[in-house]
Structure 1
Amino acid sequence: MRFDLKVPFAEKDQAKKLGARWDAGRKCWYIDGNLDVTSFSQWQPGPHDASAAVPLPPPAKRSATARAASAEKVHVGSRFVELPRVCDCLPWDDCEKCRLQSWPK
């Protein structure tokens, strides 16, 4: 289990020596459940601190097929018209072959 800490910048080295780790995404110090929590009691957040909120659950792990399916999905606006692919050029490149065969005349 993870415990977030409220460590002032001046005391970060002391917390790091005891085993606390920095979470760059959340911008806070934390410890894992395998460390002694009493050593970090001076940095426990108060009830009104933002870091005292319920910790976020870990992101759900998706299967390889779910990741592949979402990667293939294209999110577009309601007025988008998909033109047929003629060659393997990048969609933003102005390929002569694609332009001649895909645009209606």
Structure 2
Amino acid sequence: MTLYLSRFTYTPATWARLIQHPEDRRVAAQSYIESVGGTLHGFWYGFGSHDGYTLWEAPDNVSMAAVALAIGAGGALGSLETTVLLTVEETMDALGRAQQIGYRAPGS
């Protein structure tokens, strides 16, 4: 299975609801990813350009996309970005394959 890192921001309305009714959103996040056969490995809040971060594992990109689409369509988030994480071994394989591509820079 593949790992995915998501970064999200809540809307001001969502923060207001959470202040009025504090809720551990890890429970919801876990149920979303488990519904597609995946696992939630972590859920954190932070300071900066994003309010929170999740580390998910999903069977495939389509499964993770389904989770991200469902969450994004819910209206509680101002932004949601998900990055596919490659292992070092996958990156080494890609580097080796890149040697065979024969890329030519524009205009060269």
Give the greater-gyration-radius structure (CA).
1
- As a proportion of its length, which structure holds more helix? 2
Name the TM-score, length of structure 1 as normaliser: 0.29
Q: TM-score, normalised by structure 2?
A: 0.28
More strand by share: 2
